[in-house]
Structure 1
Amino acid sequence: MATTEIKKEMDSLAKVINHHNHLYYQEDRSEISDQEFDQLLNRLIGLEKDYPEFADPNSPTQRVGGTVTKNFENVVHKYRMLSLGNTYSEEDLREFDQRVRKGLEGEGIAEELEYICELKFDGVAISLTYRNGQLALATTRGDGTRGDNITANAKTIRTLPLQLQGQLPEEFEVRGEVFMSHKEFERLNATLAEGDKYANPRNTTSGSLKLQDSALVAKRKLDCYLYAVLGENLPFTTHEEALETIKSWGFNVSQTYRKCTTIEQVLTYIAEWEEKRKSLPLETDGIVIKVNSYKQQQALGYTAKSPRWAIAYKYQAEVGITRLSSVTYQVGRTGSITPVANLEPVALAGTTVRRASLHNANEIERLDLHQSDMVTVEKGGEIIPKITGVLTEERQEAAEAIQFIEECPECKTTLIRVEGEANHYCPNTTGCPPQIKGKIEHFIQRKAMNIDSLGERTIDQLFQRGLVKNVADLFDLTIEDALSLEGFKEKSAQKMVEGIKQSLATPFEQVLFALGIRYVGQTVAVKLAEHFEQMETLRYAPLEELEAVPDVGKQIAKSVVDYFNDEKNTQIVERLEQAGLKMKIEAVDLGDNDQLGGKSFCLSGKFSTKKSILEGRIKASGGKVMSSFSKKLDYLVSNSEKETTKTKKAKEMGIAILSEVQLEQMLEN
């Protein structure tokens, strides 16, 4: 067959398959059998394998996945992904309505106000960029400013169009919510053993989108509703028009939204859906109310975190009643003991609840919890189950009160409780199995050392066989050690050892976070790294200097001192240094460009150029970028004409203040 004919057949097959996908997923009907559809798809898969030069990156074969993503690229959002203000009360909604009307009157555009009410779907936010009608990029919310590139995984969602038809903007973004239906969640859990079942659809969706193999994502059968569109010179003036338009473009838009002209109509919509939403195939937890007119939205503007023209109303959590079967105790990586209530199964907000956290001894005492009590259970935000009360009138005679344990359930060490803290701890940090394995699992996670060739089960095997007793032991592992593990062959053994070796390039601030020092999270680890610049200085830092670091304070400072006062910890740090881990902030290779001479800068507020670009230029010119104030800071960069907390603090500390223009001049000179 001539290559032109092959290309023609592939294009024809893709068109036919897309047509049947649209009928099935958007119009809920079929013109051919599943077997006929599979034959078409398999034919196209075979042709793409034989003639990869003709394969379309947005071919319908991408729906079945197969792309393996080692690391998810971090992408800066063109338009920030903001969160919404929440309320649970009618009074707050009426106040929101009054604020909106007053704001529009102040702008002189108080023409007839309309709201669009939409169900608030409980899934994972996604942003999709289309260029020339083709899906070009899919990203998670992340921190609202930047998220992860999950394009390969998003392509497996059958209701997301990969190729659009018709008159379209050259480039635009659509925002929506990826979710897993109740039916699919139950199907997935039915395939798992009791201890491995997933907790809820939302968390399962989030984890699915971050799987490295898109073929596995495809098997999860995720779905997506779209509810917003952004771009330049878009062909509509209201949110309602936008929803109608993107639906005509082929996007899956829930038809549950409604236009309201008064706050009374909004409240009627909310009341109507309080019960109706429970019949939907997915989780919902409230209603989103948006001003319909784009002109009015623009006039109302934004706060630092959310739009002034929208608000989310949250329904009160659903409550269930069930019996307490027992209380067990879990040991975390820091030794913290968490009591868990084991419950007789109860249906709650679309899932079956069998366990609920009791948090600590204070909570057990507050509830006055007794053996076999009947308890009320609800989901906080309809996600995490919690016990909210006890039906004391139904308590069994002679039922004993639940007493918090005195010994660690894993290693039998006597528990301690630090004055002023609610939690009990097991102090056996180096001999308690869950703590040891938990520290290693924390050490290898993506935001720490990012050793993706290891996993929870592998760590358990390594620990059980005595090959790894702390994080430093990881760097002594050999291919022979890996081959001794169940399920490991030559290739997987090499991959494990190579993955550990590659982690040696991890920056110092991530190494510091990876150590798992109690209370030292990512942000604090960065600030400690910036202030002390190397592990040796941090290791011997006095309590007073640690407390002076921004966002540290007494509790964190004492925890750092206690960590380095423990000889077992310092031995581990020394072994990690000998293994080649980075123990100081490394200077950037500047070549001949060192014009800023190591001066440090802190950027605050809004800039005409993206902050990340300015920071990159500072580093490339020999400067340092600090996330907060310290005695070592040379310049605060701020465009604010009014005095802010940071500019006031800079003046008090004698730190020079630059505008963006002055910084640009410094970089250019």
Structure 2
Amino acid sequence: MNHEEYLAKIERANAWAKAYYVDDAPLASDEEYDTLYHEILNYENENPLFADEHSPTKRVGGMVLEGFNKAEHKARMWSMEDVFNEADLDAWIERVKKVKENFTFYCEPKFDGASLNLIYENGMLKQAITRGDGSIGEDVTENVKTIGSIPLRINYQEPIEIRGEVVIKKADFERLNTDRLSAGEALFANPRNAAAGSLRQLDTSITAKRKLMFYPWGIGINSLTQSFLSQKMSFVYSLGFLQPPRIVVTQSVDDVHTLYAELIAKRDEIEMMMDGMVVKVDDVSLQEELGYTVKYPKWMVAFKFPAIEKVTRLKDITLQVGRTGVVTPVAEVEAVNIEGVIVERATLHNFDEIERKDIRIGDSVIIIRSGDVIPKIIKVLTERRDGSEKVVERPLNCPVCGSELLDDGALIKCQNLSCDARVVGAIIHFASKKALNIDGLGDKIVEQLYAQKLVLHVKDLYTLNSEQLLALEGFKAKKADNLLAAIEQSKGVSLEKFINALGIEHIGEVAAKKIARAFGLEWLEANYEQIIALEGFGEEMAKSLVEFIHVNKAETYELMAVLQPIASKLEITESVFTGKTVVLTGSMSQPRDEIKVMLEKLGAKVSGSVSKKTDFVIYGEEAGSKLAKALELGVKTLSESELNGMIK
């Protein structure tokens, strides 16, 4: 066999593989494919220097990884807002209609698996990244290359991120668990965990054996010019990706409800586990106009399937103490199988709920699960009581440190700042990469410092000295000096990073930045009305911040005095852009983030979508739908060079 014949056989093998994995229409028998595969493999064994990177032999794995590196998505992978009934869905539709009365829906099944982002450049699969926190995930490229339904090469040369769900068929999941049982290995709880666990195998040959599948549901960074998401996704599917078993594009709300009912009816028939239906706005320009909250796009929702109910018995109630000191009751129930998930715990939220529902230890209860990590108790079957049930008492002392608890009604909190449950978790978060990024201060070292009573509060980090560290196991001069230097370097951090580092419930990086920009160093004096007025803030976020300020105000001021965070409140220079709404689009000669900051310093509000309220659209090369919409609405447009001229 010469090299040209070898390459031709690769093309034939890849075509047969696509027909098998993607089109579900095999073009050859298993025996024929195996014969062809081994012909290719034999040539590669004889000519290793000429082995082609698109060969099907590259999909079998065999590489053993030391670990997974962190990788950054080019565009953020957002979460979705969940709706659980027709009323919630109709409320979302009405919110969209306030922006545009008539629009088209794009609906598809919501598979329950592991979210993945594929990055293609010059037609080649360059990188595969798990969702992670939406900004940064884990690089699982080598494992993903073993998944037959993911093309290693596509007929599209521009950079593009293709997002989707890695799933495993229910039948393959059952076979996998049967094999694990025979081998004496722990069983996977459900197909989602099996998919996620298989994706993160350090031995790529194990991933290759797991029969994973990839269904695209969206795109990130791209240069596609189609005006509708349905058109963009049709193009993605044409590149050789699996298409969901049912997609509906319609302007009819009735059609949306009909598809939802159809998917529920076929829930058991469809080979992959589904937990709902995704409803999106199809018009890309309307998506941009609707924009985003802090957590999710306003132009899409996950219409979740009805929760599955099961009856079980409440064995006990245990107490968990969170990083902010909130004591949460957790129901321990007799194990029950709900859609392949073995449930042994259920959330109770707080003690007010226990009293309101009259939940007692020993009760028979109805629990529901609808894609939630922890199911919840919805009803107590009081008629089944036999008198042996025990009333649940509100705790008086912290289950971790034993100190007296503060009972604020709905919330019961441990106020002891030295409580193990609070201190260790708070310091670990404070030092983490997403917070102050104190290099060298990992989980084990924090636990070590706390155990030796060297750090009993975050601010104690800043009184550590070399002598104390050298007395600890595993520390030598260089390690101690490096850690002390990293702690010192964390001083003078930006205010938004400082706020995020505090680990306030519901307040992440984006929300922390908004708080810092709005209130500056006086953020601890902000009240509920001021906080909830911030863009993207809801009642839950505002209440959480107010509660944190109420409990921790004095301690936080002390910590600020030590770290001296730099206020992020922008100093505004009066300009033609002051008070104006500006939208950026297209490729610029400098990073768009830098241009955004510059405009904000000139008093502009930089928005992500174009509407009648937009004052300026500033465009660079390859500007797309935003520029077109600006011209349609008569919004003033400026090229990047015109912008620079105005600023000068």
Tell me whether the two structures share a fold, i.e. TM-score over 0.5.
yes
Match 2:566 to one of 575, 578, 584: 584
Would you say the 8 A contact 2:581–2:614 is kept in 1?
no
Distance apart, 1:599 and its partner CA: 12
Distance apart, 1:407 and its partner CA: 1.2
Task: After TM superposition, list the pairs within 5 Å mapping 1:27-46 onto structure 2.
Answer: 30-31=30-31
Distance in 2 of aligned mates of 1:561 and 1:72: 37
Distance in 2 of aligned mates of 1:508 and 1:289: 37
2:417 equivalent to 1:429: yes
2:377 corresponding residue in structure 1: 387
Distance in 1 of aligned mates of 2:87 and 2:542: 40
Corresponding letter in the other structure for 1:606: V
Would you say the 8 A contact 1:376–1:389 is kept in 2?
yes
1:408 corresponding residue in structure 2: 398
Map Cα deviations across residues 441-499 of structure 1 (whole Å, 9 max, x no partner): 321333212458665556445544556434455574879969966xx799x97999599
Q: Kindly tell me: are residues 261 and 338 of structure 1, through their superposed partners in 2, closer, same or farther at Cα, counting changes over 3 Å?
A: closer
2:312 equivalent to 1:322: yes
Would you say the 8 A contact 1:175–1:227 is kept in 2?
yes
TM-score computed with the length of structure 2 as normaliser: 0.67
Corresponding letter in the other structure for 1:387: I
Distance in 1 of aligned mates of 2:34 and 2:490: 50
1:73 corresponding residue in structure 2: 72
2:86 corresponding residue in structure 1: 89
Q: Which moved more, 1:378-387 or 1:58-67?
A: 58-67
Would you say the 8 A contact 1:68–1:213 is kept in 2?
yes
Q: Which moved more, 1:13-22 or 1:468-477?
A: 13-22
Would you say the 8 A contact 1:226–1:253 is kept in 2?
yes
Distance in 2 of aligned mates of 1:272 and 1:562: 50
Distance apart, 1:143 and its partner CA: 9.2
Q: Kindly tell me: are residues 14 and 468 of structure 1, through their superposed partners in 2, closer, same or farther at Cα, counting changes over 3 Å?
A: farther
Distance in 2 of aligned mates of 1:242 and 1:517: 38
Map Cα deviations across residues 609-658 of structure 1 (whole Å, 9 max, x no partner): 58994540365xxx5847xxxxxx855568865499xxxxxxxxxxxxx9
Would you say the 8 A contact 2:317–2:331 is kept in 1?
yes
Distance in 1 of aligned mates of 2:467 and 2:44: 41
1:155 corresponding residue in structure 2: 144
1:164 corresponding residue in structure 2: 153
Would you say the 8 A contact 1:618–1:667 is kept in 2?
no
Distance in 2 of aligned mates of 1:494 and 1:361: 45
Would you say the 8 A contact 2:151–2:240 is kept in 1?
no
Would you say the 8 A contact 2:37–2:56 is kept in 1?
no
Match 1:664 to one of 639, 643, 646: 643
Would you say the 8 A contact 2:441–2:483 is kept in 1?
no
Task: After TM superposition, list the pairs within 5 Å mapping 1:119-518 onto structure 2.
Answer: 119-136=109-126, 138=128, 150=139, 152=141, 155-156=144-145, 158-164=147-153, 174-179=162-167, 187=177, 202=192, 218=207, 223-227=213-217, 239=230, 249-256=239-246, 270-278=260-268, 280=270, 282-288=272-278, 304-305=290-291, 313-418=303-408, 422-430=410-418, 432-450=419-437, 456=443, 459-466=446-453, 468-472=455-459, 476=464, 497=483, 504=490, 507-516=494-503
Partner secondary structure for residue 405 of structure 2? coil
State the identity %.
Answer: 25
Q: Which moved more, 1:261-270 or 1:406-415?
A: 261-270
Distance in 1 of aligned mates of 2:203 and 2:471: 27
2:583 equivalent to 1:606: yes
Distance in 1 of aligned mates of 2:291 and 2:132: 14
Would you say the 8 A contact 2:59–2:146 is kept in 1?
no
Distance in 1 of aligned mates of 2:410 and 2:502: 24
Higher-RCO chain (CA-CA 8 Å, sequence separation at least 6): 2
2:603 equivalent to 1:617: no
Q: Kindly tell me: are residues 444 and 72 of structure 1, through their superposed partners in 2, closer, same or farther at Cα, counting changes over 3 Å?
A: farther
Distance apart, 1:72 and its partner CA: 2.5
Distance apart, 1:336 and its partner CA: 0.4
Distance in 1 of aligned mates of 2:305 and 2:501: 39
Would you say the 8 A contact 2:143–2:207 is kept in 1?
no
Would you say the 8 A contact 1:156–1:217 is kept in 2?
no
Distance apart, 1:205 and its partner CA: 6.3
Map Cα deviations across residues 391-431 of structure 1 (whole Å, 9 max, x no partner): 1111122422222222111111121123xx5110011122x
Distance in 1 of aligned mates of 2:89 and 2:495: 46
Distance apart, 1:39 and its partner CA: 12
Q: Kindly tell me: are residues 228 and 548 of structure 1, through their superposed partners in 2, closer, same or farther at Cα, counting changes over 3 Å?
A: closer
Structure 1, unaligned runs of 5 or more: 108-112, 589-593, 627-632, 645-657
2:512 equivalent to 1:525: yes
2:552 corresponding residue in structure 1: 563
Q: Kindly tell me: are residues 598 and 443 of structure 1, through their superposed partners in 2, closer, same or farther at Cα, counting changes over 3 Å?
A: farther
Would you say the 8 A contact 1:547–1:557 is kept in 2?
no
TM-score computed with the length of structure 1 as normaliser: 0.66
Structure 2, unaligned runs of 5 or more: 535-540, 616-634
Q: Kindly tell me: are residues 555 and 467 of structure 1, through their superposed partners in 2, closer, same or farther at Cα, counting changes over 3 Å?
A: closer
Q: Kindly tell me: are residues 489 and 314 of structure 1, through their superposed partners in 2, closer, same or farther at Cα, counting changes over 3 Å?
A: same
RMSD over aligned CA atoms reads 6.2
Partner secondary structure for residue 333 of structure 2? strand
